[in-house]
Amino acid sequence: MESRTDHIRIYPCFEASDASAKGYCQRYLETRHENLKFLRDTHSDEPFTKPWFLRTLDRIRQADIVLCLLGEKTWLASNVRWELIVAFALKKRVVTMRLHSNRMHVPPFLLVEHDAKIEQFNLEKLSSKLFHQEEQRAA
């Protein structure tokens, strides 16, 4: 049985209309990092039901990184806001990446309450950061 430290676990946080971008991101990163594992998102569950809360909370607890993909509608998605609030409360590393050029479509609390640094969508740069983190774990 593998230990929890064998993989960098990523919980993907995104609005439903950005599912294809999440899939692309997951395939790109998992093919470049054998020690990286995307945790299953909870988009198939009905949001804000007890099972959704429990599964989402459990997956965020398991995650080393919460990767938030900011699309055009993310700032309207209350489930994304809840996932991020939980991630910050649990002191998880949150990486936010903008999927489009409009800088106004960002959940305001990310900037106001958490002074989050929002990266442009660049999987090569993210991959490089993760590779560096993998090297630090191996040392």
Q: pLDDT tens digits, residue range 22-46?
A: 999 999 999 988 889 999 998 888 8
CB 88 within 8 A of CB 60: no
Q: Which CATH number fits domain 4-138: 3.30.1310.10, 3.40.50.300, 1.10.15.40, 3.30.70.20?
A: 3.40.50.300
CB 37 within 8 A of CB 3: no
pTM: 0.82
Retrieve residue 130's tokens.
Answer: 């993760």
Q: pLDDT tens digits, residue range 70-127?
A: 888 887 888 998 999 999 999 999 998 888 776 666 666 666 566 677 777 888 988 8
Residues with Cβ < 8 Å from 7, sequence gap 6 or more?
35, 36, 37
Chain position carrying tokens 């945790």: 39
| Domain extent listing, the chain | 4-138
CA dihedral (14, 19, 20, 24) positive or negative: positive
- Name the average pLDDT for the chain: 84
